[in-house]
Structure formats: C-alpha cells, structure tokens
C-alpha cells in the first residue's frame, strides 16, 4: 500500500494510457495495447479481473443476427468465433465451438427467421446460416421440442468461453508484456491538468496519464462524469440464468434460441465447461447497479422457457442460478455501442458497451487502439511482445494416461480438492500463486466450488490453502474482497 499524507493519495506513476475497468473489454484492450511500446496501466476496483458484468453473463458468442441494429456493434461482432479461437490458442484458455439454432414454433416466427437470413445475406454478415426443417433440427438436436416447425441454423458461427478465466489470462499476458495492473483500486476522481494530461485518483495512489480509456462497465457513466461528460447515461435491465448439472449435458450440444428481442430472451446452451445454461427471461429494471438477486418467480419463468425449447430438462438438475445486468446507453441509437472520444476532455475515450460486448471484445480492443492513434498516441511495435501465455494443466479433461503422468510429475495432482469438478490441489495452489487470493478468484480460475455441491465439499479446503499460501489467518480470507470474510474466530485451521 502506498503511503498517504493527510489522507491524500501520493503520486505513484506516470503512464501514456490508463484503462479503467478489467472486465472482458478492458482486459482485451490491455492485452492489445501491450503489443506496442509505452507505459500502460489497467485499474480495477474489484479484487480480481472480470468480477463485474463480465462474470454474470452467459459467456457465449453471438452472431450479428442477434442484434440487427447498431452499425458499430454489427461490425465489431462479425467473425468473433474465429478471433476467439485464435486467442484461445495463444492464451491457453477454454474455447468451445458450438453451432447456433434459432427455433420457430409458428409461421410468424418462421417468417421472421427467413427475414433475418435475408437481412444477413444482404448485409454480408451471414456465416452460412440456412433455413432447416423439423427433420434436420432433430438430427442436429434430438431433444429439441417436437413443436418446432423450422429453424435458422448457423454452423461454426458461435462459441463458449468462461469470461473470468479469460480476463485472468488476458491481464496476465498483458502484465508479462509490460502492463501494470492495479486491483482493489476504485477510481475516486479524475483531475484534468490540461488536454492530454490527467491525474487518476484512487485510495491507494494517484496516477498521471496522457490518455484514459473508460471501460468501466456498469460504472462507465460515473467515470464519464468525472471528466465532464455528464450527458452519457446508461439504461439498465436484468436477466436471470440457470445452471444445470453436468449429468444432463448430453441433452443439448449447441446454442438454441426460441424467441428473443430487446424485452426478453429464450436460450439454452452448453457452457464452455460442459454444464447447460438457461436464460435470460423477461428483462426487468434492477433496483440498483449491484442488484443481482434472483427471485423464485423469475427462476420459475426462466426454467419454463428452457423446457419449452428442450422438454427433457428437469428442475432437479438445477445446481445454481444467477442474474446479470445488461446495459444500453443514450448516446447511440438502436442499442448500439458508444465508443468515442470525450466531448469535453481530449485524450479520454469512452467505451459504453452493452450486448454483445463479450462477443465483440477482441474487435473493440483493436478499434480502441485505432482511436488512440487518431488522438495522437504514437504506437510503435513492441518487438518483445510475447503472444503466448502458458496456463496450467487441468486434471478433469485429461485422459487416464495423462492423469498418471501429471501425478508422477507432481503428486499434488493426485489429491482431489473439488470432487464435483475434479479439481486438484496442484491446480488450486497454482491459481493462488498466480494471483487468485479470494475464494471466488480460486473458484473462477479453477472451477473448485462450481459443481453440484457448490463448494460444500471443497470450500473449507480452499479456504485453508488460501490462508496457508497467503500467510494469513483463515478469518482473514474473503469470498470476494473487503467485507466478505468467510469465518470468524482465531483458530489457525477450521
């Protein structure tokens, strides 16, 4: 912690560019910028990257067919699956290729799908989508409702990631290439010294920078106000998602939509790690920006929508549910992204990104770098840039021979910590060594605690590994940062 004087943060460092927000968009920008020479920093108020909006969404890539309005987001969402597949190889993270199926249950819906295909063909954003009949639907997805009369089918156009795993990998690779990462660093103010000369204030320190990228997600409007852009406002809605046990993962192999629009969405899809996810129901306004509560009524609504698409799913297979907050902005029509230079503060770029922000994130990062160049930032190639980041070996997907090899090389692979997700002691310790210092950080990087029992079996073990590795009392270990301590008491182990 940087020393402070009279409660005013002391100066810490000077940068060319500071990115505010380490969600999937901010992390992609950080990694993209690290390809160039310069002094770059990423500042995040949470204790771990991806702990905001990015964590609470389906983490599935969408084709532009889902969002036929908004020229910028259509452009940036194109060819997302190919971009993510390439990045997955470089960053050693999970990417699951899936196809995309839009179901029709009556002639009106069928007509809408035919119109959507015609629009996609005309605007050259189709990736080979075609209209198929009931027999083809059942051949692709045998468990889909027999009431479906047709579908719009896109092959190799989508994919699944796990957003927090990706933000961790992206920021780790960016740091390897010279970027400075500041977590637990809420931006409390921005002082404009002059054009292209700012001071970003946090409780821990004050940073000088020439350029600011405002990628603060739900809080992008608050950061905008700090530099005088008071006209940017967000429109918030909330969707609910249900996760099913892996035992029923064989029921669905691709991303399946029923009806969808700006008011609601009917979706059932495999996740990157093999569960099935159902979402998102009818969107409702959240009470506030931290309102991620799930009501019994909303849970029932979403599950009913899922059964409409795949009748074989059962309530007994639900292991958890969560809600995520979606954003639109008042600056761009048709739900489009607003990514532009500040109207009042030269050197500041705002990225008010709603759906499909995760899909478009790689292209958004490239677009932001172009805007920085347009604003006068000299970008010379970082010849020492290393695109590859090595993760750690995962026990669960390994073959029997590979598991034996892992255990022979490191006996800690022979100790299962999380039985549900087959996560070993070696993986938990590696995640902690590399920066996962809360229960949720370990959970979202290793999946320990994400299975059927939701941490009932492995939670105490993970807590003690954190305490031992970090050198703190178990009572100091938190779930997700300040104010979320897991236990009270003075015992060394529990």
Q: For 36-46, write each residue's pLDDT tens digit.
A: 999 999 999 99
Sign of the dihedral defined by the CA atoms of residues 197, 345, 171, 205, in that order: positive
Q: Quick check: is 425 in a domain?
A: yes
Whether residue 345 is found in the same domain as residue 410: no
Q: Quick check: is 493 in a domain?
A: no
Whether residue 36 is found in the same domain as residue 118: no
pLDDT(5) > 80? no
CATH number at residue 438: 1.10.10
Tell me what pLDDT residue 216 has: 98
> How many domains does the chain contain in total?
3
Whether residue 322 is found in the same domain as residue 254: yes
Alpha-helix residue ranges (DSSP H) falling in 92-182: 107-122, 134-140, 163-176
The arithmetic mean of pLDDT across residues 103-130, rounded, is 88
What domain range is 152 assigned to? 96-159+235-327
Give the span between the Cα atoms of 166 and 28, in whole angstroms. 9
pLDDT(274) > 80? yes
Tell me what pLDDT residue 2 has: 32
Tell me what pLDDT residue 1 has: 31
Give the span between the Cα atoms of 131 and 153, in whole angstroms. 6
Q: Quick check: is 385 in a domain?
A: no
The arithmetic mean of pLDDT across residues 407-411, rounded, is 97
HSE-CB at 12 with a 13 A cutoff on CA atoms is 24
Tell me what pLDDT residue 108 has: 95
pLDDT(351) > 90? yes
Tell me what pLDDT residue 12 has: 87
The arithmetic mean of pLDDT across residues 424-440, rounded, is 97
Look at 174 and 480; give whichever has higher pLDDT.
174
Tell me what pLDDT residue 64 has: 79
Whether residue 154 is found in the same domain as residue 292: yes
- 120 confidence band (pLDDT: 50, 70, 90): confident
Tell me what pLDDT residue 109 has: 94
Contacts of 190 (CB under 8 A, 6+ apart): 198, 199, 200, 201, 212, 223, 226, 227
Q: Is 62 labeled as catalytic in the residue annotation?
A: yes
How is residue 367 written in tokens?
């677009």
Q: For the purposes of burial, counting CB atoms within 10 Å of the CB of 418, is it exposed (0-12), middle (13-18) or buried (19 or more)?
A: buried
- 6 confidence band (pLDDT: 50, 70, 90): very low
Residues 346/212, Cβ–Cβ less than 8 Å: no
Tell me what pLDDT residue 489 has: 61
Whether residue 221 is found in the same domain as residue 347: yes
The arithmetic mean of pLDDT across residues 318-346, rounded, is 95
Give the span between the Cα atoms of 47 and 324, in whole angstroms. 19
- 490 confidence band (pLDDT: 50, 70, 90): low
pLDDT(66) > 90? no
CATH number at residue 9: 3.50.50.60
Whether residue 283 is found in the same domain as residue 431: no
Helix (H) or strand (E) holding 159: strand 150-160
pLDDT(263) > 60? yes
* Range in 326-330, 378-382, 428-432, 478-482 the model is least confident about: 478-482
Residues 217/53, Cβ–Cβ less than 8 Å: yes
Q: Look up residue 52 and give its DSSP letter.
A: S
- 139 confidence band (pLDDT: 50, 70, 90): very high
Residue range 352-403, pLDDT digits in tens: 999 999 999 999 999 999 999 999 999 999 999 999 999 999 999 999 999 9
pLDDT(106) > 60? yes
Q: Quick check: is 469 in a domain?
A: yes
Give the span between the Cα atoms of 227 and 220, in whole angstroms. 11
Residue range 208-244, pLDDT digits in tens: 999 999 999 999 999 999 999 999 999 999 999 999 9
Whether residue 280 is found in the same domain as residue 297: yes
Q: Which of 389, 377, 7 minimizes the C-alpha distance to 168?
A: 389
pLDDT(491) > 60? no
Annotated active-site residue in 8, 62, 129, 485 = 62
């Amino acid at each position: 912690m940087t020393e402070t004087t009279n409660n005013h943060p002391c100066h810490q460092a000077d940068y060319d560019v500071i990115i505010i927000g380490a969600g999937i968009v901010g992390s992609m920008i950080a990694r993209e910028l690290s390809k160039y020479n310069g002094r770059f920093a990423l500042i995040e108020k949470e204790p771990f990257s991806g702990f905001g909006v990015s964590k609470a969404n389906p983490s599935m890539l969408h084709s532009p067919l889902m969002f036929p309005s908004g020229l910028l987001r259509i452009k940036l969402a194109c060819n997302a699956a190919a971009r993510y597949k390439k990045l997955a190889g470089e960053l050693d993270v999970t990417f699951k290729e899936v196809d995309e199926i839009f179901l029709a249950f009556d002639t009106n819906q069928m007509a809408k799908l035919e119109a959507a295909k015609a629009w996609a063909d005309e605007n050259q954003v189709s990736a080979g989508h075609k209209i198929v009949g009931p027999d083809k639907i059942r051949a692709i997805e045998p468990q889909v409702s027999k009431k479906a009369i047709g579908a719009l089918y896109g092959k190799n156009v989508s994919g699944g990631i796990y957003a927090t795993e990706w933000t961790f990998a992206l920021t780790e690779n960016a740091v390897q290439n010279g970027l400075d990462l500041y977590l637990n660093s809420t931006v409390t103010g921005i002082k404009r010294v002059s054009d292209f000369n700012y001071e970003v204030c946090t409780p821990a320190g004050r940073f000088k920078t020439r350029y600011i990228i405002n990628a603060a997600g739900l809080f992008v409007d608050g950061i905008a106000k700090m530099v005088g852009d008071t006209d940017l406002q967000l429109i918030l809605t909330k969707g609910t998602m249900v996760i099913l046990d892996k035992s029923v993962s064989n029921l669905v192999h691709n991303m399946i939509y029923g009806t969808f629009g700006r008011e609601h969405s009917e979706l059932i899809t495999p996740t990157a790690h093999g569960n099935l996810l159902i979402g998102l129901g009818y969107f409702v306004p959240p009470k506030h920006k931290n309102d991620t509560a799930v009501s019994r009524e909303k849970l029932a609504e979403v599950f009913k929508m899922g059964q409409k698409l795949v009748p074989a799913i059962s309530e007994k297979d639900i292991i958890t549910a969560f809600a995520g907050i979606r954003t639109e902005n008042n600056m761009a029509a048709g739900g489009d992204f607003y990514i532009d230079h500040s109207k009042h503060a030269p050197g500041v770029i705002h990225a008010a990104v709603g759906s499909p922000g995760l899909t478009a994130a790689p292209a958004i990062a490239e677009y932001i770098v172009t805007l920085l160049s347009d604003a006068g930032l000299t970008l010379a190639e970082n010849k020492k840039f290393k695109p590859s980041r090595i993760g750690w070996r995962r026990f669960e997907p390994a073959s029997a021979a590979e598991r034996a090899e892992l255990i022979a090389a490191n006996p800690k692979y022979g100790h299962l910590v999380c039985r549900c997700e087959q996560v070993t002691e070696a993986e938990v310790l590696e995640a902690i060594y590399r920066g996962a210092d809360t229960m949720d950080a370990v959970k979202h990087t290793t999946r320990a605690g994400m299975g059927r029992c939701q941490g009932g079996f492995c939670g105490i073990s993970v807590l003690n590994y954190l305490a031992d590795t970090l050198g703190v009392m178990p009572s100091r270990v938190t779930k997700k940062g300040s104010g979320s301590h897991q236990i009270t008491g003075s015992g060394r182990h529990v």
